């Protein structure tokens, strides 16, 4: 950032008094601009022995497959955000959402939260940010065309947990991995 | 916000093309400013049959008791952030952090994440944002002087789960409750 959101003058990076890290501080009005990690909420929608995937119509990872997920918005819960993203990207309604995976991605200051859920009536469509959507069994998933490591990890964990019959919630950091 | 962080000109609230909610958009360069919920990370440090609480030296809730917690910073994991806040507010080192409670507070666009953990050697101090710190058994906790509903809920749940001998992770929304 270059300019103060409060008065429009230039900002500079410095450590405010009583703080221990650099912030963008206004050179005129001294307003301190904090920036914080963002939350990405998503769903793992399940119907019978299949999961719902979307093929991305946007960058990054255009043309690769993902679980419906996106930035959490102000004024919503993590669960409501996950359901909203699933509607927006796959035109799918979901029920019985249960928190499943949390990923810390400190190198890009993001926290992912995925909810396991039921895909209502097995119905879905294609939202504007997707090229197509589809229900995939484990052996049908395009494993070599998955958009993000957090999605691959969540899918792998889900099918393993499904065989074990129990879905413990896990939080895990993911190191940077080039695709 | 009033001014664009990118060019310093005035912003206006409008719905960008392809979006469905109002954002602050620059009237000159068209830059879209997204704002998203913030994550607050904290610990429930345990030593023997006691938990560590801090008396707040800052607003809001000056003089009331809380668990060590604060805004997650860029570049850290939720777990590292929770441990950092515990050091900053109570000069305490903690180990064996396990995710315990997640609270959605949509009315203030915050998500709280509390980790259960061991307080190393039962040692603690007082950080600059605290008036005092202390280890409290369930019957010693100043229940009428707890700073935030999320803290009261986490403490109540902890002592109940402790009696049951199991600490399932839960995510729950909290409605607005005046103190």
Query: For residue B9, what is the domain's CATH number?
Result: 2.20.70.10
Cis, peptide link before residue A73, omega less than 30° from 0: no
Which residues of chain A have a CB within 8 Å of the CB of B38? 36
Residues B91 and B30 in one domain: no
Question: Does residue A178 sit within a domain?
Answer: no
Question: Does residue A110 sit within a domain?
Answer: yes
Number of domains in chain A: 2
**What local confidence, expressed as pLDDT, does residue B49 receive?**
97
**What local confidence, expressed as pLDDT, does residue B175 receive?**
78
Question: Does residue B179 sit within a domain?
Answer: no
Residues A12 and A48 in one domain: no
**A60-85: average pLDDT:** 98
Question: Does residue A147 sit within a domain?
Answer: yes
CATH number at B155 reads: 3.90.79.10
Residues B86 and B5 in one domain: no
Question: Does residue A179 sit within a domain?
Answer: no
Residues A20 and A45 in one domain: no
- What is the value of pTM for the model shown? 0.95
- Could you list the residue range(s) of the whole structural domain that residue B3 is in? 1-35
Question: Does residue B178 sit within a domain?
Answer: no
Residues B145 and B97 in one domain: yes
Q: What is this model's ipTM?
A: 0.94
Average pLDDT across chain A, whole number: 96
User: What six digits make up the tokens of A71?
Assistant: 């930035």
Q: Is the pLDDT of residue A164 over 90?
A: yes
Q: What is the dihedral of CA B70, B73, B76, B78, to 10 degrees?
A: 40
**What local confidence, expressed as pLDDT, does residue A179 receive?**
52
Q: Are A96 and A178 in contact (CB under 8 A)?
A: no
- The chain A residue lying nearest B174, using CA atoms, is A77
Residues of chain B with pLDDT under 70: 177-179
Residues B27 and B49 in one domain: no
Residues B155 and B103 in one domain: yes
Residues A79 and A105 in one domain: yes
Which residues of chain B have a CB within 8 Å of the CB of A79? 104, 171, 173
Best mutation target among B106, B112, B173 (most A Cβ atoms within 10 Å) is: B106
Residues A49 and A27 in one domain: no
Q: Are B69 and B83 in contact (CB under 8 A)?
A: no
**In which band, very low, low, confident or very high, does the pLDDT at A159 lie, cut at 50, 70 and 90?**
very high
Contacts of B118 (CB under 8 A, 6+ apart): B45, B46, B47, B94, B95, B96
Q: Is the pLDDT of residue A154 over 60?
A: yes
Q: Is the pLDDT of residue A102 over 80?
A: yes
**A37-63: average pLDDT:** 98
Question: Does residue A166 sit within a domain?
Answer: yes
Question: Does residue B78 sit within a domain?
Answer: yes
Residues B98 and B148 in one domain: yes
Q: Do B104 and A34 touch (CB under 8 A)?
A: no
Residues A29 and A70 in one domain: no
What residues in chain A have their Cβ under 8 A from chain B's Cβ atoms? 1-11, 18, 21, 33-39, 71-80, 99, 102, 104, 106-107, 109, 111, 128, 169, 171, 173
Contacts of A67 (CB under 8 A, 6+ apart): A42, A43, A44, A45, A51, A52, A53, A54, A114, A151, A154, A155
Residues B91 and B17 in one domain: no
Q: Do B75 and A4 touch (CB under 8 A)?
A: no
Residue A78 is nearest to which of B80, B104, B107, comparing CB atoms? Answer: B104
**What local confidence, expressed as pLDDT, does residue A178 receive?**
58
**In which band, very low, low, confident or very high, does the pLDDT at A122 lie, cut at 50, 70 and 90?**
very high
**What local confidence, expressed as pLDDT, does residue B176 receive?**
73
């Amino acid at each position: 950032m270059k300019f103060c959101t409060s008065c429009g003058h230039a900002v500079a990076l410095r450590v405010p008094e009583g703080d221990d890290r650099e912030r963008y501080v206004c050179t005129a009005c001294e307003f301190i601009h904090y920036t914080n990690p963002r939350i990405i909420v998503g769903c793992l929608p399940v119907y019978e022995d299949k999961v719902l995937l979307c093929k991305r119509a946007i960058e990054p990872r255009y043309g690769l497959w993902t679980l419906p997920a996106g930035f959490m918005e102000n004024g919503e819960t993590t669960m409501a955000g996950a359901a909203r993203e699933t509607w927006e990207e796959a035109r799918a309604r979901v029920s019985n959402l249960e928190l499943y995976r949390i990923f810390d991605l400190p190198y890009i200051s993001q926290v992912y939260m995925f909810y396991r859920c039921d895909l209502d009536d097995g119905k879905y469509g294609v939202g504007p940010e997707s090229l197509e959507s589809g229900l995939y069994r484990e052996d049908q998933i395009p494993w070599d065309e998955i958009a993000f490591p957090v999605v691959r990890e969540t899918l792998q964990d889900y099918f393993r947990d499904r065989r074990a019959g129990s879905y413990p919630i896990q939080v895990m950091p993911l190191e940077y991995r080039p695709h």
